[in-house]
Amino acid sequence: MKVARYFSNDDIRETEIPKPEIGPGEFLVKVKRSGICGSDILEYYRKAKMKKLGVDSLILGHEIAGEIVEKSETIKHLRVGDRVFVSHHVPCFECHYCKQGHHTACDLLHNTNFDPGGFAEYVRIPKINIEKKGVYVLDKNVSYEEAVFIEPLGCVCRAQRLANIKKGLTVLILGCGASGLLHIKLAKLRGAKKVIATDINEFRLKKALEFGADEIFNANVDLPEEIKKINKYRLADIVIVCTGALSAANQALDSASPGSKIIFFAVPEPWIFLNVPINKYWRNEITIMTSYGAAPEDLDEAYNWILSKRINVVDLITHRFPLSKAGEAFKVVCEAADSIKVILEMD
């Protein structure tokens, strides 16, 4: 079968590998659509993983939707022909972290995946992914393209649930890529009084307005002062960082009002450290949080938003490429010019 093999952001090669063979309790998915995530182009992260594994390349891709084409006889609740979304990571639900609600800190979640990766014609779904609530049979009204967004929207749902975004709050979103735009849509649905968005890309800022932002600013402005002008001299109640740029992280620290929460949905490189004005934060009870990935309850929420059509996700897709042009697709994502969501079409 054909796969797109990742060597670096500018070196993606279509190669052939054997189609995976399923074992007891497993099934095989013919991938129909696969989204390219912003994390797929974190080159430092990918190269560190390759070094750890002792390999020169990876088969990435975790935002997949497809059709079951083979299944073990022991699987009774799924059928060949079922259209599915499959989560690449699943928590154990039994460890200390899961019991405390931190499912995405679970060791199992960090060590599960499907085989070989979503940038392939077929993926084998391990038994553990099925047993731990990682498989969603799609309603007939949910398209493959919509299903690609279950995982990224699930990550957004988790962050906003942790931050407790609710009616009446001013929400600042730094970075208007796919995740930032999903944050805008969901924050409005959760009742945010005002959603402010920033980016350095004018195309994405226009999309932010189109998708519900009340105010937009180029990230190069004096952001705290601009927020005060439009928000009755107050800063933001919730700040969501959706870019790894250090400048955005520092803006977040400067844009938080007393009693607010800053949630790092994206972070700078591992060797970057932030200078936090801790005395000021202590006096004003400002909370700094992080959010990583999505747990099953977050995927459930995302699926229901998509199924109900209350969040239109397909309008975020700006580019579609066949698997054979995955290299071009990665180039578009890396350039981040007039792109939002880029997906690979396998059929």
pLDDT in tens, 6-32: 999 999 999 999 999 999 999 999 999
What CATH code is assigned to 156-290?
3.40.50.720
Name the nearest CA neighbour of 144 among 67, 62, 38.
67
What CATH code is assigned to 2-149+313-345?
3.90.180.10
Q: Which residues of the chain, if any, have pLDDT below 70?
A: none
Q: Which amino acid is at 166?
A: K
Using the structure block, give the residue that is written with the tokens 């977050």: 298
What are the residue ranges spanned by the domains of the chain?
2-149+313-345, 156-290
- CA dist 130 and 100 (Å) reads 23
Q: What is the pLDDT of residue 31?
A: 98
Q: Tell me how far CA of residue 324 lies from CA of 16, 42, 236, in angstroms.
A: 11, 22, 44
β-pairing, 194-199 with 122-125?
unpaired
Q: Tell me how far CA of residue 311 lies from CA of 63, 102, 148, 187, 254, in angstroms.
A: 17, 26, 13, 11, 31
Mind listing the pLDDT tens digit for each residue in 123-156? Answer: 999 999 999 999 999 999 999 999 999 999 999 9
Q: What is the pLDDT of residue 117?
A: 96
β-pairing, 135-137 with 122-125?
unpaired
Mind listing the pLDDT tens digit for each residue in 253-271? Answer: 999 999 999 999 999 999 9
Name the nearest CA neighbour of 294 among 283, 310, 305.
305
The pTM assigned to this predicted structure is 0.96
Q: What is the pLDDT of residue 347?
A: 77
- CA dist 62 and 59 (Å) reads 10
Name the nearest CA neighbour of 342 among 15, 328, 136, 13.
328
H-helix or E-strand containing 28? strand 27-35
- CA dist 91 and 70 (Å) reads 25
- CA dist 270 and 104 (Å) reads 19
For 214, the 3-state DSSP assignment is coil
